[in-house]
Structure 1
Amino acid sequence: MTRNAKIIVTIALMLGMALAALDTTIVGTAMPSIVGKLGGITLYSWVFSAYLLTSTTTVPIYGKLADLYGRKPLFLFGSALFLIGSIASGFSQTMVQLIIFRAIQGLGAGAVQPIVLTIIGDIFVLKERARVQGLFSGVWGLSSIVGPALGGLIVDHFSWRWVFFINVPFGLLSAILLMISLKEQVERKKHQLDYIGTLTLSISIVALLFAFLQGGTSWSWLSWQSIALFATSILLLGWFLYEERRAPEPILPLDLFKNRIIVISSIGGVVLGTIMFGITSYVPLFMQGVKGGSATDAGIILGPLLLAWPIAATVSGKLVLSYGYRITAVAGTALTLIGVGLVLLFTPQVALPLIILAMVLIGAGLGFSSSAYILSVQNAVPWNLRGVATASTQFFRTIGGTIGVAVMGSILNAQMAQRFTPIFSHYTEVLQHLPKGVSPANVLLTPDVRASLPLVLLNQLQLALAQSLFWVYLLLFVLAVIGLVAMFWLPGGRADQYAYDAETSADVEAEKPSSSEVVLPHLG
């Protein structure tokens, strides 16, 4: 294992991580222009949802396959799918085509991030890994910040299509560097892949996410469509759990969850994902709708959070080595809880310094927590389960965020309907003069319409939106409390006390069927 090879692999992985992070923010900036060219505004949300569905449901599958066949081929396969989806998205002629090609992009993205983290776990020992995880968190944070600005520049000076084409040269460079520098010795043996587990888990998640994404919008929560989707999800999840106990090589070994570290880290991942997606989705809405800021202002306000995250993640690695998982995770969730508590105080009159302080605290808290979760899980399992274990942490984080944002959207819609309707009932003339295509719920987010509103009406609507958002933030606060309590169940003491030991570990027992293969990574 040479130092130069490690450096090349790290650069390749950083490029892959940067592309995955950049794609989540750069597309949002370009979407108004894309809709202007392709039409189909009613399909707007599906451009994001299609990507989210495929990237979420494939994470555990890629994690298991990486354990069976090695990290390198799965990373290269995922990168190839991502780039094919990017090129096809750039050439899209209709919104339906774009949605299909974004789904292909998501199929590739589902492999990139978890396998990047898994390879880091393979090539660096715990002490090195703690520092490197902070570096990768920094790449993620910086890419997230650059994304909106870069998307705006590309759309303004080139074409929205280059938002997708820009992935190609960097993706190819990442793949080439990894092919050259990462070598894996694979002992070929026959496998009994868990097809039933893969299908039942995937369809169960798709049904659940579809129910949350469409429920309360396309149909009511108590409609037969919602009930059927929830019932399908529950039944298939039960079938999946049954199958995982019987399968020779399960896609998600349930024995992993006999380990307290993995269970608590998974709970923490759900809480972290929900808070992360919730804050980044609904604080910009507060800035634009309640405070009257521009779309740029709404994006910039997340800057303190996205800067604090990688800094805290870097420090977190050192804390894990010196003080262990529990203290680091408790410190992170406590900071997050305080930050979300400050968000509860957001009113139309809230001062900008308080908003910035809340974002810094939340970003620092999430940075401390995320590194602790990943390091603890990777350190608790053997090599041949590290891929699926790392993927499970990403899976729970994404699922938490996806479902959480859907639930928060339902809460917000219900609260706004309750408050906005009585207000507009006293201003029927204003409603009659709204521009075509602008609903009452969107008047605060349309600058020209907002500027034309009577000041009294504007103030009432801003207060109503702030009060509606309070209930969204309250849900985040309750989840932060749950997360803080759960972190006290992580074991105390130094991290190296909980490293997996093949001879003495009783918590996590690797699956070792006669047909399994052993993949030994080395660098050349």
Structure 2
Amino acid sequence: MTTPTQSKLPSHFGWIYAALMVSMLLGALDQTIVSTALPTIVGELDGLSQMAWVTTAYILAVTIAMPVYGKLGDLLGRRTLFLFSLVVFVLGSALAGFSQDMNQLIAFRALQGLGGGGLMITAQAIIADLVPVRQRAKFMGPMGAVFGLAAVAGPLLGGWITDHTTWRWAFWINLPLGIAALLISAYAIRLPKPKAKVAFDYLGTGLMAVAVTCLVLVCTWGGTEYAWTSPTILWLGAATIAAGVLFVIVESRATDPLIPLRMLRNPVFGVATLIGMVVMGAGMFAVVAYMPTYLQMVYGYSATESGLLLLPMVAGMMLTAIGSGAVVSKTGTYKGFIIAGTAVIPVAVYLMSNLTVDSSVVVLCSYLGLLGVGMGLIMQNLVLAVQNAFPQSEVGTATSANNFFREIGATVGVAVVGALFANRLTDRLAELGGGLNGGNTESITPDLVQQLPEQLKAPVIDAYSDALLPVFGALAPVLVVAIVLAVFLPNRTLQGGETDDQAPERETVAA
């Protein structure tokens, strides 16, 4: 398979692009759409103790599936895999909506995730198959903005569906969109199959799955289900390290590894991946995960209103993602935008750390918009840089590996921020004594806080503010590391009309 050389896009490209965008949105949306529906779901299915697994099962399956789809796409071709992932995702969505107990729901959410991981990876790689590198940026920008849109739209849509119909439609809503994307893709997408002998890395895939599973469980359970020093968490941590070390050893000896270790030696891949892990884990997802709680507890907004107040971040992200994509397509250079984005993000997070309980919500939303501006300058430009650093025959593997590590960074970042926030909040609420909810600080809700007498309400609001905002302040210096990394990111000019044989020579000189 060669890099696209024509300046003219393939026929039906508008329909293809729409199907890819919808597919990416569906895959990303289902990471968050159940969050606001969970209380209703666990109440109806009698599964409070298993609640976390409804989300964890999906994220875990997505993370494991990403590098597998990327590798198989390079070996077998991406059209069939994309159609397969759509079928799996739609089937999982339908079955999840029909679930009669929590075990069924968790199993079908995992099935959904196995499809969703393929949608997010193969959609980006198919763009690389169809669009010349120089034109690719303007199409990748909106695809990057989809992730930010899904992070905010997911909880909003899930809450609205649950309030007005039934939680089951949070899954069934995927069916008409998924089927439409499947039919369009089956008709319009035409890709040449790579002439490669399949030698799939089964042992490496198994070790990767064990390492990722243990890591996600550590991040999910640590500080919540189990203490960080409990034997369960310590054993899971040890298993993560052991499986990770074995994975590296196996990959270094495999004939056709799942994630070739030489990719890590490519300066573009290494730096871009580290930037993505830092800004996604300690940046966007950490803020999106906990800012709605802050808005509800401190400002008294409803769950729906707190989600709507994140829209300035989405608007900023879409503005700069689409705008920077258009400019990159014209100039062929991406580094300036990535440096600018890494400079804006820590400023936005630092400004949020200096908010007070008396700060205007307009000011808070402006800071969220600034964060979105920074994220939009970075997200898909990093993917574009990675794709540009490898020959077309490895675009799928490189794209999936980059997304894989970014997902890991987001999981770890959200877990660490959540643990710090929870520990600080618990200490501050404990200082208020038994007068607060009869001493039961585990079941404080936004409605309860708003109903408290003023002498208790103000200290509780202060406790939430003092627990979360200093954590953001501690994140800002970590995010500054991304600026340093961005400065050292090689600035490889995007080329149009390269062949597969030309690209490796240009891209691996410095590797």
Q: TM-score range by the shorter chain?
A: over 0.9
Letter in 1 for 2:59: L
TM-score normalised to the size of structure 1? 0.90
Match of 2:88 in 1: 81
User: Which residue number corresponds to residue 386 of structure 1?
Assistant: 395
Whether contact under 8 Å (1:211, 1:226) holds in the other structure is yes
> Could you say if the C-alpha distance between residues 273 and 208 of structure 1 is closer, same or farther in structure 2, counting changes exceeding 3 Å?
same
Q: Distance in 1 between matches of 2:63 and 2:150?
A: 20
- Name the counterpart of 2:226: 219
Cα deviation for residue 29 of structure 1 reads: 2.9
Instruction: Summarize the alignment of residues 207-356 of structure 1 with structure 2, pairs less than 5 Å apart.
Output: 207-274=214-281, 275-321=283-329, 322=331, 324-356=333-365
**Which digits, 9 at most, give the CA deviation of each residue in 1:136-191, with x for residues without a partner?**
23444555554444334432332211111111121111112111112233366642
1:67–1:79 distance in 2 versus 1, CA, 3 Å: same
Superposition map of 1:408-447 within 5 A = 408-424=417-433, 428-432=434-438, 439-443=440-444, 445-447=445-447
Take 2:196 and 2:492, find their aligned partners in 1: how far apart are those partners?
A: 40
Q: How many residues align?
A: 500
* CA distance in structure 2 between the partners assigned to 1:168 and 1:509 by the alignment: 46
Moved more, 31-40 or 201-210: 31-40
2:42 counterpart letter in structure 1 = V
CA distance, structure 2, for counterparts of residue 335 and residue 509 of structure 1:
29
CA contact (8 A) 2:26 2:116 kept: no
Contact 1:255–1:508 (CA under 8 A) maintained in structure 2: no
Q: After TM superposition, give the deviation of residue 430 of structure 1 in Å.
A: 4.2
CA distance in 1, matches of 2:425, 2:17: 47
Secondary structure in 2 matching 1:4? coil
Matching residue within 113, 117, 128 for 1:110? 117
For residue 192 of structure 2, the aligned residue among 179, 185, 189 is 185
Counterpart in the other structure of 1:164: 171
Q: How does 1:6-45 map to 2 (within 5 A)?
A: 6-45=13-52
Question: How far apart in 2 are the matches of 1:470 and 1:145?
Answer: 20
Q: Pick from 168, 178, 195 the counterpart of residue 202 of structure 2.
A: 195
Secondary structure, counterpart of 1:339 in structure 2 = helix
Instruction: State the SS of the aligned residue for 1:251.
Output: coil
Instruction: Please state whether the residue corresponding to 2:135 is helix, strand or coil.
Output: helix
The farther-off stretch of 214-223 and 82-91 is 214-223
Residue 372 of structure 1 aligns to which amino acid in structure 2? N
Give the corresponding residue for 1:55.
Answer: 62
> Mean alpha-carbon deviation: is it higher for 398-407 or for 23-32?
23-32
Answer with 489-498 or 404-413: which moved more. Answer: 489-498
* 2:278 aligned counterpart, secondary structure: helix
CA distance in 2, matches of 1:504, 1:161: 52
Structure 1: stretches of 5+ with no match in the other structure: 511-524
Higher mean alpha-carbon deviation, 305-314 vs 155-164, is at 155-164
Distance 1:9 1:323 in 2: 24
Question: Hey, what's the Cα distance between the residues in 1 that align with 2:363 and 2:495?
Answer: 39
Task: Give the SS at the match of 1:53.
Answer: helix
TM-aligned CA deviation for residue 66 of structure 1: 0.7
SS at match of 1:103: helix
Structure 2 SS opposite 1:24: coil
| 8 Å contact kept, 1:270–1:401 | yes
- Tell me which moved more, 155-164 or 80-89: 155-164
Q: Distance in 2 between matches of 1:209 and 1:508?
A: 36
Please give the alpha-carbon distance, in whole angstroms, between the structure 2 residues aligned to 1:337 and 1:477: 5
Kindly state the Cα deviation for residue 41 of structure 1 after the two structures are TM-superposed: 2.0
Q: CA RMSD in A?
A: 2.3
1:485 corresponds to 2:484:
yes
Work out the CA distance in 2 between the residues paired with 1:144 and 1:464. 26
Aligned-pair CA distance for 1:502 = 4.1
Aligned to 2:5: none
Structure 2 unaligned segments of length 5 or more: list them. Answer: 1-7
Structure 1 residues 492 and 72: CA distance shift in structure 2, 3 A: closer
Q: 1:214 to 1:142 in 2, by over 3 A?
A: closer
TM-score, normalising length from structure 2?
0.92
Q: Which whole-Å CA distance do the structure 1 matches of 2:295 and 2:57 have between them?
A: 27
Give, in whole Å, the separation in 1 of the partners of 2:374 and 2:263.
Answer: 26
Confirm or deny: 8 A CA contact 2:390 2:503 kept in the other structure: no
2:404 aligned with 1:403, yes or no?
no
Aligned-residue offset at 1:219: 2.2
Q: Deviations over 1:486-516 (max 9, x none)?
A: 1000124744499883473362799xxxxxx
